[in-house]
Structure 1
Amino acid sequence: MPRTLSQAAWRWLCGLLLVSLITPPLLADDSGTLRYPRRADGDEFRSIYALAQLQLALDKAGSALRLEPSHYSMEQERALVNLEQNDRLDVAWSMTSHEREQRLLPVRIPLDKGLFGWRIALLSKDRVQLLKDVRNLEDLRQFSAGQGHDWPDSEILRGHDLPVRVSSSYGSLFRMLQAQRFDYFPRSVIEIWDELEHPRAKQLVVDPHVLLHYPTAMYFFFSPKRPELAETVRLGMEKALADGSFERLFQQHFATSLQRAQLTQRQVIELRNPLLPSATPLQRHELWFTPAAPAL
């Protein structure tokens, strides 16, 4: 069990999964449920924070909708396609891009406070000093990164002439790293510590030297056919931001992870993000995390 997750959070998630086993999947508008993409077995921890923020938004909006996982687990692109078609899903969360905002309806409040663009690397345990002498992009180009084939990050890295090896399976990327089919696996600072405690990462370590940064946001996305759902969640998130409950939930989940990452002690390599839509609310400073922020 990841150390950063409370027993209460796990009980809450298990309750959601139990409901999914006894209740057949129905449409949100005729069942009172809001269906989200189920994770593969063993990866449920990756959804806990997003689901907590989603539930908080529904509560703040006064919505009676209940969260329910999809009947089958879904990789990211399959979930987005199902959402676009308004078929078996009502909401998903993902890094934004021009293409995704054209296909889907985003709520432009970054539930990650932009931290999916703050990346440190997983490495093979016997290569912990691999990136010790990396100071700039040219140095980093000596090494290959692993990424999902449909992740926006892949295009961002390639846009800077960084070698990238891809896989269609999230889980297989860990095996590929252990087999040294690529050199490093850039992960968000708010997901890497939980991933490190998963059995598949037992031969991996966190790089202590480098921090990649590019501006991005993880949003809740909805079908363009269901704007009322997007508006409900947007209103709820705005209320949570205003009363401080959004920030309290964020810190509850990630304060320890951010302290462990020691961001200010790393060599920062800044990357452009050509996929970032112009509508991204970068001017709303309260929505974004910076390493110098005193709150953490």
Structure 2
Amino acid sequence: MPIMSRMLVCLLLVWRVAASGTEVVRVPLPESPGDHRTDYALQLLQLALSKTGASYRIEFSGFPMNQQREIRELEAGGTIDVASVPASPEREARLLPIRIPINRGVLGWRLGLIRKGDAALFAGVNTLEDLKSVRLAQEQDWPDTQIFRANGINVIAAPSYEGLFKMLVVKRFDYFPRSIMEIWDEQANNADKLQVEPHIALHYFYDAYFMVNRKNTRLANDIREGLEKAITDGSFEKLFWQYYGDRLRKAHLETRTVIELKNPLLTPETPVNRPELWYDFRRKPENPQ
């Protein structure tokens, strides 16, 4: 188990014991075994709730969920209370979003998973027009699928997250855009067959928010208050760099060709006027450590 994952388990266990009798906040189990995509978001949620002055305890739901199941459960007031949900107009209308980008926009910085030995296929890809000739894929329900298609890119839409890795290996497509948050763990889990493409970085303005049921305004306000306090006292940024610092440095964005994509899914409420909430290596200084 990765160090950060072990830390998360320990922190949650300690908090559970210390907060006996407090209000439970239910979060979804990861979509599949070994899926660590939500580890950081859970640590940030715990950080935010710890700064509210209220008493909360985080517990996992009884079964794994994909994004669409999470949204349905939140909307129905079902088995979960909050989830880290990639933003879109439809999701922000159905749920109550706390509009502070959880990952400081790193969800919109994309590298590609490719088959081992295929790097030469992408050496001449330098522009959006070049990218349109590349066979790439995403899960059918991800907002990224809509973003790529809105930029004129053909996207193979797959029904499941796990299935995408198998499809890439058997050459159903050639390039699997993944965020810097996720790609290194995913490559390590498929190290015998897949590698990270070394030349290109895709960028679009995009991230996930914590979202709750529209009636759960108290929890939403507490999460918002805790996040703002963490931003002010620096603990949000500290956690961000603790978790993502090595991943961002490993990406070597400064040496890559960055292809900018438009995101038609941004709502007017997106906090684009707060640059401190969004990571961009081109804005100096970025890494305080």
Name the TM tier (shorter chain). Answer: over 0.9
Residue number among 239, 248, 252 corresponding to 1:249 in the alignment: 239
Q: Contact (CA 8 Å) 1:146, 1:173: kept in 2 or not? A: yes
Using the size of structure 2 for normalisation, the TM-score is 0.92
Residue number among 17, 20, 29 corresponding to 1:38 in the alignment: 29
The letter for the 2-side match of 1:117 is G
The letter for the 2-side match of 1:204 is L
Q: Could you say which residue in structure 1 is the equivalent of 2:137?
A: 146
Q: Could you say which residue in structure 2 is the equivalent of 1:100?
A: 91
Gaps of 5+ in 1: 21-29
Residue number among 31, 45, 59 corresponding to 2:50 in the alignment: 59
The letter for the 2-side match of 1:38 is L
The letter for the 2-side match of 1:217 is D
Instruction: Rate the CA distance shift 1:272–1:41 in 2: closer, same or farther, 3 A.
Output: closer
Q: Could you say which residue in structure 1 is the equivalent of 2:64?
A: 73
Q: Contact (CA 8 Å) 2:48, 2:227: kept in 1 or not? A: yes
Q: Could you say which residue in structure 1 is the equivalent of 2:198?
A: 208
Q: Contact (CA 8 Å) 2:77, 2:213: kept in 1 or not? A: yes
Query: 1:267-278 residue pairs with structure 2 within 5 A?
Result: 267-278=257-268
Using the size of structure 1 for normalisation, the TM-score is 0.90
* C-alpha displacement of 1:142: 1.2
Quote the Cα distance in structure 1 between the aligned partners of 2:105 and 2:122.
Answer: 24
Quote the Cα distance in structure 2 between the aligned partners of 1:165 and 1:294.
Answer: 38
Instruction: Rate the CA distance shift 1:228–1:146 in 2: closer, same or farther, 3 A.
Output: same
Q: Could you say which residue in structure 2 is the equivalent of 1:284?
A: 274
Q: Contact (CA 8 Å) 1:17, 1:69: kept in 2 or not? A: no
Q: Could you say which residue in structure 2 is the equivalent of 1:223?
A: 213
Instruction: Rate the CA distance shift 1:263–1:113 in 2: closer, same or farther, 3 A.
Output: same
Quote the Cα distance in structure 1 between the aligned partners of 2:46 and 2:28.
Answer: 15
- State the Cα deviation string for residues 30-70 of structure 1 (Å, max 9, x = none): 97111111014523422210000000000011221111111
Quote the Cα distance in structure 2 between the aligned partners of 1:92 and 1:122.
Answer: 26
Q: Contact (CA 8 Å) 2:38, 2:84: kept in 1 or not? A: no
Aligned length: 282
Quote the Cα distance in structure 1 between the aligned partners of 2:44 and 2:14.
Answer: 20
Quote the Cα distance in structure 1 between the aligned partners of 2:250 and 2:15.
Answer: 35
Q: Contact (CA 8 Å) 1:50, 1:111: kept in 2 or not? A: yes
Quote the Cα distance in structure 1 between the aligned partners of 2:223 and 2:212.
Answer: 10
- Greater CA deviation, 188-197 or 68-77? 188-197
The letter for the 2-side match of 1:276 is L
Query: 1:151-170 residue pairs with structure 2 within 5 A?
Result: 151-170=142-161
Q: Contact (CA 8 Å) 1:174, 1:201: kept in 2 or not? A: no
2:38 alignment partner, SS class:
helix
- Greater CA deviation, 100-109 or 33-42? 33-42
Gaps of 5+ in 2: none
Query: 1:225-240 residue pairs with structure 2 within 5 A?
Result: 225-240=215-230
Query: 1:79-118 residue pairs with structure 2 within 5 A?
Result: 79-118=70-109
Does residue 1:136 correspond to 2:132, yes or no? no
Instruction: Rate the CA distance shift 1:190–1:147 in 2: closer, same or farther, 3 A.
Output: same
Quote the Cα distance in structure 1 between the aligned partners of 2:150 and 2:112.
Answer: 19
Question: Aligned-pair RMSD on alpha carbons?
Answer: 1.9
Q: Could you say which residue in structure 1 is the equivalent of 2:183?
A: 192
Quote the Cα distance in structure 1 between the aligned partners of 2:46 and 2:14.
Answer: 17
Q: Contact (CA 8 Å) 2:25, 2:58: kept in 1 or not? A: yes
Quote the Cα distance in structure 2 between the aligned partners of 1:44 and 1:134.
Answer: 30
2:181 alignment partner, SS class:
coil
Instruction: Rate the CA distance shift 1:11–1:247 in 2: closer, same or farther, 3 A.
Output: closer
1:150 alignment partner, SS class:
coil
Q: Contact (CA 8 Å) 1:16, 1:69: kept in 2 or not? A: no
